[in-house]
Amino acid sequence: MSSSPFLLSHPAKANSIKRAAGCRCEICGSTGTEDELEIHCFSGEGEECPQSPEEMERSLLVLCARCHADLHASPDAVSGQELLAGARDREVSLRIRKILAFQPGQVSPPDSDIEGAYKDACASRYGNLI
Ligand SMILES: [Zn+2]
Ligand SMILES: [Zn+2]
Q: For residue 104, how far is its CA from the centre of ligand 2 (angstroms)?
A: 27
pLDDT tens digit at each of 130 positions of the chain: 455 677 878 899 999 999 999 999 999 999 999 999 999 998 755 555 557 999 999 999 999 999 999 999 998 888 899 999 999 999 999 999 999 998 877 555 555 565 666 666 656 555 554 5
Ligand at minimal distance from the CA of 43 is 2
Q: For residue 67, how far is its CA from the centre of ligand 1 (angstroms)?
A: 4
Identity of residue 41: C
CA distance 64 to 37: 5
CA distance 126 to 121: 9
Full-model pTM:
0.73
Q: What is the DSSP secondary structure assignment for residue 44, as one 8-state letter?
A: S
Domain locations in the chain as residue ranges: 5-129
CA distance 23 to 36: 9
Identity of residue 91: E
